[in-house]
């Protein structure tokens, strides 16, 4: 009989109502903290960065089984069914967070190929198919990550003045450290890794007149294979993804610069300002002029 999947709210684990962030440690197959569902199928409305501190075991994500061992680092996105059927020998640390914590830095973080792989693409791929490749921290990288997490834990536990800002900064530092660690070991053989590199290029060079042919060559794939893998990894088409990157940057410039709408359109890769206005309105339900006039984030 299939086991019922429990649905867990972030309120069980976040240390502050104003800061959706928490740390939980797991050591062996016994209850480690309140609302410990490690060995019970569950899903939640937050994301979870899992780092294996020591030992070996097995995790099931969306019905697929994955072996895990010391140094493994991976992200469980919200609403993914998962649990550890065997974690007797495992020591884990789970950093629990709302993806909204990284939203303001998302564009800059996506310039790091490792961020695309660990925090965005691999969790997404595991929703639609078994994706066996995983990332393992070296002993030095693991030690550095655990040291940041220990500092983060202290901030959340001691709750000194300004702890929310300090904890959020430490979480960002941890995210960057792990993302950079992945970049160091990339060998380019995995097609999804090559897509991750391409996404970083698009984030940095969104003004360029990209074509599908240029993108597929950059990813070292045939056009048909490129379209298939890109869709699996991002749940989007390459050109629509690029358009959203451009529009996101245009939105930022509308709020934070005095450039004309035509200048912003051209600077973000849209050679026709009327076409830009049409795309912007379709994406954000407001024209560029009205959006700027409101000086308000949507």
Three-state secondary structure string covering the chain: CCCCCEEECHHHCCCECCECEEEEEEECCCCCCCCCCCCCCEEECCEEEEEEEECEEEEEECCEEEEEECCEEEEECCCCCEEEEECCCCEEEEEEECHHHHHHHHHHHCCCHHHHHHHHHHHHHHHHCCCCCCEECCHHHHHHHHHHHHHHHHHHHHCCCCHHHHHHHHHHHHHHHHHHHHHHHCCCCCHHHHHHHHHHHHHHCCCCCCCHHHHHHHCCCCHHHHHHHHHHHHCCCHHHHHHHHHHHHHHHHHHHCCCCHHHHHHHCCCCCHHHHHHHHHHHHCCCHHHHHHHCCCC
Q: How many domains does the chain have?
A: 2
pTM of this prediction? Answer: 0.76
Does residue 261 register a pLDDT over 90? yes
Looking at residues 97-125, what average pLDDT do you find?
A: 85
pLDDT band at residue 86 using 50, 70 and 90 as cut-offs: confident
Confidence band of 29 (pLDDT split at 50, 70, 90): low
* Residue 72: how many other CB atoms lie within 10 Å: 21
Q: Are 181 and 38 contained in the same domain? A: yes
* Gap between the Cα atoms of 193 and 115, Å rounded: 11
Residue 1 domain-assigned? no
**Closest listed residue to residue 10, CA positions, set 94, 119, 92, 66:** 94
pLDDT for res 1: 46
pLDDT computed for residue 262 by the predictor: 94
Last residue of a domain, one of 162, 185, 208: 185
pLDDT at 32: 65
Tokens found for residue 52: 């294996």
Q: Is the pLDDT of residue 66 over 90?
A: no
- Average pLDDT (252-260) is 91
Q: Tell me, yes or no, whether 243 and 180 share the same domain.
A: no
Cα separation of 202 and 224, whole Å?
19
What is the reported pLDDT for 106? 86
201: CATH? 1.10.10.60
pLDDT in the model for residue 298? 44
Q: Give yes or no: residues 118 and 266 share one domain.
A: no
Residues 149 and 96 reside in one and the same domain: yes
What average pLDDT does the structure give for the chain?
86
Higher-confidence residue of 118 and 281: namely 281
d(CA 116, CA 199): 7
d(CA 66, CA 276): 44
Which percentage of the chain shows pLDDT scores above 70? Answer: 90
pLDDT at 27: 87
User: Residue 242: pLDDT above 60?
Assistant: yes
CB neighbours of 56 closer than 8 A, spacing ≥ 6?
67, 68, 69, 70, 89, 90
Q: Output the CA torsion sign for 117, 119, 124, 125.
A: positive
Residues 199, 168 within the same domain: no
Residue 129 belongs to a domain: yes
Per-residue model confidence as pLDDT tens digits over 117-159: 888 887 666 655 555 556 889 899 999 999 999 999 999 999 9
Residue-wise pLDDT for 192-226, tens only, equals 788 888 998 999 999 999 999 999 999 999 999 99
140 located within any domain: yes
Res. 49: pLDDT tops 90 = yes
Task: Give the whole-angstrom CA distance, residue 82 versus residue 65.
Answer: 10
For residue 36, CA distances in Å to 41, 111, 269 come to: 11, 35, 48
Q: Provide the residue range defining the domain that includes 101.
A: 6-185
* pLDDT greater at residue 186 or residue 271: 271
């Amino acid at each position: 009989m299939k086991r019922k999947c429990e649905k867990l709210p972030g309120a069980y684990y976040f240390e502050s109502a104003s800061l959706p962030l928490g740390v939980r440690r797991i050591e062996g197959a016994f209850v480690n903290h309140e609302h410990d569902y490690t060995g019970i199928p569950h899903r939640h409305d937050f994301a979870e960065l899992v780092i294996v501190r020591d030992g070996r075991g097995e995790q099931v994500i969306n019905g697929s089984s994955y072996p895990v061992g010391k140094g493994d680092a991976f992200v469980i996105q919200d609403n993914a069914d998962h649990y550890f059927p065997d974690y007797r020998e495992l020591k884990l640390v789970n950093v629990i967070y709302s993806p909204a914590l990284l939203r303001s830095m998302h564009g800059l973080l996506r310039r790091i190929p490792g961020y695309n792989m660990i925090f965005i693409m691999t969790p997404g791929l595991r929703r639609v198919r078994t994706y066996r490749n995983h990332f393992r921290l070296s002993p030095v990288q693991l030690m550095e990550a655990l040291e940041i997490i220990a500092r983060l834990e202290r901030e959340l536990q001691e709750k000194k003045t300004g702890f929310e800002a300090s904890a959020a900064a430490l979480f960002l530092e941890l995210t960057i450290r792990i993302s950079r660690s992945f970049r160091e070991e990339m060998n380019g053989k995995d097609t999804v890794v090559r897509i991750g590199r391409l996404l970083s290029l698009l984030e940095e060079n969104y003004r360029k007149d990209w074509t599908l042919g240029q993108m597929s060559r950059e990813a070292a794939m045939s056009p048909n294979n490129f379209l298939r893998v890109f869709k699996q990894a991002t749940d989007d088409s390459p050109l629509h993804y690029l358009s959203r990157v451009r529009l996101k940057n245009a939105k930022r410039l509308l709020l934070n610069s005095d450039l004309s709408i035509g200048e912003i359109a051209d600077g973000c890769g849209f050679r026709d300002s009327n076409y830009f206005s049409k795309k912007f309105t379709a994406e954000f339900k407001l024209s560029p002029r009205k959006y700027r006039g409101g000086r308000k984030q949507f």
